[in-house]
Amino acid sequence: MSEPLSPVVVGAGPAGIRAAERLVRAGLRPIVLDEGQRAGGQIYRRPLVEDGRSYRGRYGSEAGKAQRLHQAFEALLPQIDYRPETLVWNISHSERGNQLDILSAGVHRQVDFSHLILCTGATDRVLPFPGWTVPGAYTLGASQTALKAQGCTVGDRVVFMGSGPLLYLVAWQYMRAGARVQAVLDTAPLASKRHLLALAVHAPRIVALGVFYGLQLQLAGVKIRYGVRPEAVLGTSQVEGLRYRRRTPAGEVVESIACDALAYGFALRAETQLADLAGCRFHFDERDRVWLPERDVLGRTSRPDVYIAGDGSGIAGADAAEISGELAAMALLEDAGRASADVARLVAARNRILRQRDILEQAFPFPADWFETVPAETTLCRCEEITVAEVRRTIASGSITEINRLKALSRVGMGRCQGRMCSAGAAELLSGACGVTADKVGRLRAQAPVKPIPLNFGGGKPEAWS
């Protein structure tokens, strides 16, 4: 007789919810571990307590999708073992089996699993610039979280800077919430937006929404600038403004704008640390300039018992995450000898979204020349307080060409965030200094714990999952 299945889903965003739903339909009772306090993930984040806003008021054009996903999860609760506010900080494989180390309610526990579906999502990709650590500077994701979960804005007069469709969406959401949006500063050139014409053929709704957000912002008097590079955040104890350069037909101009908060971001970065600790093989993704776990079309990784879905397997958005979560669960069931239907239909639907995403990335390209103009005294690793100049000196003195060697000699990536915030910038800086492409410098190896945990968790003695 085969061993009973004990699947665990890590994450309760769009991918995790749909994965759990498919497993429940197959008669299983999965454990769902969620770092958040309520299911929904970042894109459909819910407030801790209802604050009177409608779904439309909180999620805008995505209100229907958010409500359907939340309702689907609520219906699943009697049939799953849901553990919110639970951090998975390590994965181990041994003769005793597969285990997760988790921290829940201040107590360390270990969870056994037969199969694991990682739906770890994504976080903001951060690049350093002068003043990015000044109080009042936030990532786009943090700014959106404040609005969705707490019903507040990060400032009264906010400048939005970076690249990606999230830039315009969050700026529009802030404008609707009553904040004064001072400017939207796009680091991509205006010419790159021509790719949206090609996208309109395949995804007219996406382009129409983007045009709507842009027009609404302009009609409200919001400045929109392209080809921007920040020179300095004004203010020392609090953001007071931003000085930036931008490209114009007549050449570069330098401008300053007053604000009390800056929200910035350069698209998203997949959260892959748990996949690394699980022993999955990785490959370099040229489009996103990042190392991602290898997976097949359904989400199988190089580990026979580990599957991956959602933005943690590559940035594709919420709709693709829902599909990939279901596909990962179907792959798990197939591997356990349970046939699944509709695989081809779901794969085709996700592939359409991925093709659209490829075009979208061309409209909002990564600023590959970023470090050509970042001053030497700029902080690169805020945890260890290491500057760009210090990293450059370390690279030069040690003939360093690999990022883990850079970490060992400079301490970049050794702080509280374990390189989650500085690794993208460090890789770009190292590849530029070595004159090679980003894939040639390797990737930071994940270390447990993937996020900070208290030294005295649960009295120091692991407890069995009950």
Structure tokens at 143: 């700014």
Are the beta carbons of 113 and 218 closer than 8 angstroms? no
Q: Which helix (H) or strand (E) holds 408?
A: helix 403-410
Is residue 434 a part of any domain in this protein?
A: yes
Are the beta carbons of 7 and 114 closer than 8 angstroms? yes
The verdict on 75 and 154 lying in the same domain is no
Is residue 451 a part of any domain in this protein?
A: no
CA distance 187 to 173: 20
Strand partners, 274: none
The verdict on 33 and 114 lying in the same domain is yes
Strand partners, 258: 241
Q: What is the DSSP letter of 194?
A: G
Q: Identify the CATH number of the domain in which residue 232 sits.
A: 3.50.50.60
Tens of pLDDT along 193-227?
999 999 999 999 999 999 999 999 999 999 999 99
Is residue 448 a part of any domain in this protein?
A: no
- Whether 456 has a pLDDT exceeding 80, the answer reads no
Last residue in a domain, options 219, 234, 266? 266
Tens of pLDDT along 146-184?
998 888 999 999 999 999 999 999 999 999 999 999 999
Is residue 218 a part of any domain in this protein?
A: yes
Are the beta carbons of 259 and 157 closer than 8 angstroms? yes
How many domains, the chain?
A: 3
How many C-beta atoms surround the C-beta of residue 423 within 10 A? 23
- For tokens 């007071």, name the residue: 240
pLDDT band of residue 249 (cuts 50, 70, 90) is confident
Is residue 77 a part of any domain in this protein?
A: yes
Lowest mean pLDDT among 90-94, 181-185, 391-395: 90-94
The verdict on 154 and 117 lying in the same domain is no
The verdict on 227 and 332 lying in the same domain is no
Last residue in a domain, options 297, 332, 360? 360
Last residue in a domain, options 266, 298, 332? 266
- Whether 34 has a pLDDT exceeding 70, the answer reads yes
The verdict on 243 and 117 lying in the same domain is no
Show the DSSP H helices in 295-387 as ranges.
Answer: 318-335, 343-363
DSSP secondary structure letters along 243-267 = EEEEEETTEEEEEEEE-SEEEEEES
The verdict on 242 and 284 lying in the same domain is no
Tens of pLDDT along 283-302?
999 999 999 999 999 999 99
Tens of pLDDT along 431-447?
999 999 999 999 999 99
How many C-beta atoms surround the C-beta of residue 221 within 10 A? 10
Is residue 141 a part of any domain in this protein?
A: yes
- Whether 427 has a pLDDT exceeding 70, the answer reads yes
The verdict on 175 and 211 lying in the same domain is yes
- For tokens 């933005």, name the residue: 311
Is residue 461 a part of any domain in this protein?
A: no
The verdict on 133 and 68 lying in the same domain is no
- For tokens 């205006």, name the residue: 190
Is residue 449 a part of any domain in this protein?
A: no
Structural domain harbouring 111:
7-123+269-360
The verdict on 285 and 178 lying in the same domain is no
Q: What is the DSSP letter of 300?
A: B
Are the beta carbons of 110 and 465 closer than 8 angstroms? yes
Structure tokens at 217: 């912002």
The verdict on 249 and 273 lying in the same domain is no
Q: What is the DSSP letter of 2?
A: P
The verdict on 233 and 342 lying in the same domain is no
**Contacts for 343 with CB less than 8 Å, ≥ 6 apart:** 298, 327, 330
- Whether 457 has a pLDDT exceeding 70, the answer reads no
CA distance 383 to 342: 47
pLDDT, position 1? 37
The verdict on 133 and 256 lying in the same domain is yes
